[in-house]
Amino acid sequence: MSTPSVPLRGAVDLAAVAAAREAQSAAERRIASGEVPPPVGVVVDVTEASFQTEVLDRSFQVPVVIDLWATWCQPCRTLSPILEQLAAQDAGAWVLAKVDVDANPRISQAFQVQSIPTVMAVVKGQPVPLFQGALPEPQVRQYLDELLRVAAANGVTGRLGEAAPAEEPAGDPRFDAAYDAIEAADWDTAEAAYRSILDSSPTDADARAGLLQVQLLRRTDGVDPEAAVQAAGQAPDSLEAQATAADVELLSGRVDEALARMIELVRRTAGDERAAAREHVLALFTLVGDGDPRVITARTALANALF
């Protein structure tokens, strides 16, 4: 089995940059003030009432892995001990949060859980899909190792029991300018900021993804999502209508629908229109995250549509 790739970018609400930054600041204040108490161990039972402090706030210190289970679920009884054992082995590099979905339905609804066991993670307040089903320990370990790499790349490198750093390193002011412009819905300034970064660092993946995000937000600014989807239904072969509908579906979290819509257009078209539809699909892949399981599946579908 190839090493699983855990996406972080694809989990982010592209239109909520300001809210995300405020959430981080609020979490840091609560941690510094002691409002977020140290966990009793590396495995904690989490309820709807404790989710904010035990999962969201904690995720700014260490990754939080969420085991969504139920007492009647037989595969859960196989997976949960594996997760607990690995949490103990890693000794505070991450926290295992156990959520009984029957007792805490709003948590499972928030994660759009379709079946259990489902394992999610949260890093810096952002949900990260991991896997479903009772996987064997070696595969679970691969997902966790990849999660820790993603967390480290995003500045989450703490360990329970260690003192938190006095101050988080300052962010890159070039990106801060783009974030501020996005908050102000100033797409021209945001796009210019990302293009400036790419001019000096052409391979910067974050700047490339940021530019695509701004372009998506620009395209959908003022668009009525319901009307866009209806228009696409009335013009199934229109590149403009289908692309707009896919954009609003992506922003609303309907990733599978957005990708399937554009791949089906690739299947039906030819020439320049097919090339443009393919480029739109590839841009959506980048926005969701190349390691997202939905993208991995969609890449196969795209190849089949092309060939």
Predicted TM-score of the model (pTM): 0.48
Q: At what angle do helices 239-251 and 205-220 cross, to 10 degrees?
A: 110
Angle at 54 between CA 133 and CA 113, to 5 degrees: 30
Choosing from 64, 73, 83, 262, which is the catalytic residue?
73
115-145 residue pLDDT tens: 899 999 999 888 888 998 888 898 999 999 8
- Going 56 to 58 to 60 to 65, the CA torsion angle's sign is negative
Active site residue 139: no
Residue 87 C-beta-side C-alpha neighbours within 13 Å:
22
Same fold, 9-153 and 173-306: no
Give me the residue spans of the domains in the chain. 9-153, 173-306
Active site residue 27: no
224-259 residue pLDDT tens: 999 999 999 999 999 999 999 999 998 888 889 999
Is the domain spanning 173-306 CATH 3.40.630? The answer is no
Q: Which residue has the tokens 């009335």?
A: 234
Q: Which of 152, 89, 147, 159 is nearest to 122 (CA)?
A: 147
Q: What kind of architecture, by CATH, is found in domain 9-153?
A: 3-Layer(aba) Sandwich (3.40)
CA–CA dist 8, 232 (Å, integer): 30
Identify residue 261 by its one-letter amino acid code: R
Contact 62, 92 (CB under 8 A): yes
Q: Which of 214, 259, 253 is nearest to 17 (CA)?
A: 214
Choosing from 76, 148, 156, 262, which is the catalytic residue?
76
CA–CA dist 143, 1 (Å, integer): 11
Q: For the sheet with 95-100, list strands across it.
A: 43-45, 95-100, 64-69, 118-123, 126-132
pLDDT in tens, the chain (307 residues): 444 544 443 333 444 434 444 555 565 566 555 555 555 678 999 998 888 888 888 888 899 999 999 999 988 989 999 999 999 998 889 999 999 999 999 998 888 888 899 999 999 888 888 998 888 898 999 999 888 888 887 778 778 765 444 344 445 677 888 888 888 889 999 999 999 999 998 888 888 888 998 999 999 999 999 999 999 999 999 999 999 999 999 888 888 999 999 999 999 999 999 999 999 999 998 888 777 778 888 889 999 988 8
